[in-house]
Amino acid sequence: MSTDVPVHVTRTRSGKPATFLEAIAEALWEEMERDERVFLMGEDIGAYGGAFKVTRGFIERFGASRVIDTPISEGGFTGAAAGAAHMGLRPVVEMQFMDFISPAYDVLTNYVATSLYRGAGPLPLVVRGPVGGGNRGGPFHSQNVEMAFFHTPGLKIVYPSTPADAKGLLKSAIRDDDPVIFEEHKGLYRAPHCRELLPQQDHVVPIGKARTALEGEDLTIVTYGLMVHRSLEAAAELARDGIRVEVIDLRTLLPLDEKAIVASVRKTGKLLIVHEDTRTGGIAGEIAMRINERAFEWLDGPILRVTAIDSPVPFSGELEDFFLPSVADVVTAGRYLSRY
């Protein structure tokens, strides 16, 4: 182990519970040490260490040729990363906030995602960064962008909810020969309730596999990201009513682990989908249709969803709390569905 490993990486290696942010940093550090083709690009990630300090200390260890500060030009540096990937490198692009991935939409959907299909070869590129609301960031620093890319064949979308999964999935994403959009809910970065010991071996989690966060028999909740934690809180409250909830953490949205969802719904007979993204065009609609196609005969009630409302994220704290799905919203929907 290098003697100049930054504090937020050495903490995880000393057997202390890691934050979500520390898990991301450790994954990046380990992959850069393992494979000299891996390099980072993004705004202020070098000397400043990133807006959230994920890459603090990286430039001192790996140098400015592998930790590259970019102009504020998301479309430009994502395109440059795609070119580097074509030349055999494995770039990891940081969006300072995922809200600003939109200038790179063209290069990601029209060029990056179609590379393999056009015969241009694999394009190993990871685009990672913070998403999500609850931090009073307003409409430009709080969005969930997954569904803007969910319709695009050739991309993978990962959205973990725990430090161990964040580390393992990011390592898998960096090693993947397909382009991956990797979303990190900023509300989990340093959350006290989101800390855990990280496996010390080469810990990788396969892309495309959901996990059962809680076993149950009466009701399935399918969710991801921060909403996994809110769904688990709601499940604990519903348990006091005698309702045994099963919580499925998707972890990967594209490809979607349809088999895991179907198996759970066939067991419980009832499905509630929870996501922070807005309601119209959210992943709940896709999941509901797949259950309609694959498990309709097992349903004992309507498929329900708890989501954000169809609005830009408000600046006002009180309005943002109203806008976002809450534990109480999940409990209310769970009680209604259990009685149906």
Q: Spell out, as residue ranges, where the chain has pLDDT lower than 50.
A: 1-3
Contact 52, 21 (CB under 8 A): yes
pTM score of the predicted model: 0.95
Q: Check residue 261 and give left, alpha or beta (phi > 0: left; psi -120 to 50: alpha).
A: alpha
- Count other C-beta atoms under 10 Å from residue 140's C-beta: 12
Which pair of structure tokens corresponds to residue 159? 């959205």
Q: Cα–Cα distance between 57 and 48 in angstroms, integer?
A: 9
pLDDT at residue 7 in the model: 61
Which pair of structure tokens corresponds to residue 12? 């995880």
pLDDT at residue 16 in the model: 86
Supply φ then ψ for residue 151, to 5 degrees: -85, 0
pLDDT at residue 13 in the model: 64
Q: Cα–Cα distance between 222 and 262 in angstroms, integer?
A: 11
Catalytic residue among 141, 185, 229, 275: 141
Helix or strand (DSSP H, E) at 74: helix 74-86
pLDDT at residue 5 in the model: 72
Residue bearing tokens 């348990």? 239
Q: Cα–Cα distance between 112 and 173 in angstroms, integer?
A: 15
Whether 8 is catalytic: no
pLDDT at residue 10 in the model: 57
pLDDT at residue 280 in the model: 98
